Amino acid sequence: MILSKLKEALLAFSAGRVTKKYPLVPLPPPDTLRGRLTIDEYKCIGCGACANACPPRCIIVTDPDQHTRVLEFFLERCTYCGRCQEVCPEEAVKLTPEFELATNSRRDLYQRVEVFMGTCQRCGRCYQPTTRVDRMMVTGFREPHG
């Protein structure tokens, strides 16, 4: 019995180190990793497709007034499925390789994007103006806070 335990101990010591020195030596994430969600507010057109495709409903779209659409991203609920990135027509939503998201504050996992929306003169529906000149022609235009 003692001989078998010694043999087992020799095998364990001969294997060498099998764990990574992760906190001390950072590891590069794999290319396929789906990490923290980021939103490019200059590309976003406010269509809300990301909110419709989100399974945990962590994206909320509201219209506080006729010319502003607000997208709120509650990332503490995100499952990193990547559906929001797949359906975004302008590629404004991206999943980054950042995976160390531990925090003491929920505010670190919250992002708010305000998108200026123009309204059609015929039907009254919102749309994203194509240029900054078009945005200046509408009263109430505000630069996004960033």
Q: What is the pTM of this model?
A: 0.66
Q: In this predicted structure, what is the pLDDT of residue 123?
A: 67
- Domains of the chain in start order, with CATH, are 30-136 (3.30.70.3270)
Q: In this predicted structure, what is the pLDDT of residue 22?
A: 77
One pLDDT digit (tens) per residue for the chain, 146 residues: 788 888 888 877 776 777 778 778 888 888 888 889 999 988 888 888 899 999 999 999 998 887 788 999 999 899 999 999 999 988 999 999 988 888 898 889 999 999 887 666 666 666 655 555 555 455 444 455 54
DSSP the chain: -HHHHHHHHHHHHHT---S--TTTSPPPPPTT----EEE-TTT-----HHHHH-TT--EEEEEEETTEEEEEEEGGG-----HHHHH-TT--EEE-S------S-GGGGEEEEEEE-EE-TTT--EE--SSHHHHHTSTT--PPP-
